[in-house]
Chains A and B, each alone.
Chain A
């Protein structure tokens, strides 16, 4: 099993540009989570999906952030327009229904907005 796959691993962009982060969850997993990790705020849950449907997006910081899951094997997190304060590591995680509630994390995307 390849695990959770995220791309790109690193992204450097200029303020005002659109950024799209991508995630492929583990096959068969029903839940998908997007997190943001910063030194100041730690690990924050942004949004999670169950069977491709957004369940809780209360952690999405503002309207500049959006997330989609068009099918069971792909999700995107988009920031438009990006700002320097969006610089962080973004993690995607997936989890099977039941299964002890363990979340399997991807390697993360390090985003730098200049």
Chain B
């Protein structure tokens, strides 16, 4: 079995400040990792993914994440947020031996001016 834990349910942040969203996972097999963003009343959109190779991955809209195998973490960061980054962010895990994604509970980011 696998599980995904997003450690913060809500993260308020001021515009132009940095933000970090934490994600930990557990799995008995190797995994692929994803971050998705959901804007209000929309579907989910892929921000970035880690499949293999460099543990630091860069995504759209200035986001990046670092895979840490020893700590089973995949934290998402952005050095300077905009009002438009206000959304819900989901960490997701896919086991290497099937096609399903397991999602974390989500982190709501609210950016204030």
A93 to B101, CA, bound (A): 11
The reply on B103 being an interface residue by CB < 8 A is: yes
Question: Are B44 and A45 within 8 A (Cβ)?
Answer: no
A55 engages B45 (CB within 8 Å): no
Q: Mark B87-111, 1 if CB is under 8 A from A, else 0.
A: 0001000100011111111100000
- Could you tell me if B49 and A43 are in contact, using CB atoms closer than 8 angstroms? no
Tell me how many residues of B have a C-beta within 8 Å of chain A: 22
- Whether B45 pairs with A105 at a CB distance below 8 angstroms is yes
Residue contact A4 to B99, C-beta cutoff 8 Å: no
A interface footprint on B16-37 (CB within 8 Å = 1, 0 otherwise):
0000000000000000101010
Measured between beta carbons, the chain B residues less than 8 angstroms from A108 are 42-43
Query: In the complex, A95→B100 CA distance in Å?
Result: 11
With a CB–CB cut-off of 8 A, which chain B residues contact A4?
Answer: 43
Assess whether B43 is in contact with A106, with CB atoms less than 8 Å apart: yes
Interface size class of A (residues with CB under 8 A): 20 to 34
Which of A43, A56, A100, A106 contacts B103 (CB under 8 A)? A43
Q: Which of B36-94 contact A (CB under 8 A)?
A: 36, 41-46, 49, 51, 90, 94
**Residues of A contacting B44 in the complex (Cβ-Cβ under 8 angstroms):** 43, 91, 93, 103, 105
> Which residues of chain A are near B34, meaning CB under 8 Å?
101-102
CA distance A106 to B43 in the complex (A): 6
Output the nearest chain B residue to A91 by Cβ-Cβ distance.
Answer: B43
A42 to B105, CA, bound (A): 6
Q: Smallest distance from the beta carbon of B100 to chain A beta carbons, Å? A: 6
Least CB separation from A106: chain B residue: B43
- Asked if A45 and B101 sit within 8 Å, CB to CB, the answer is yes
CB distance from A102 to the nearest CB of B (A): 5
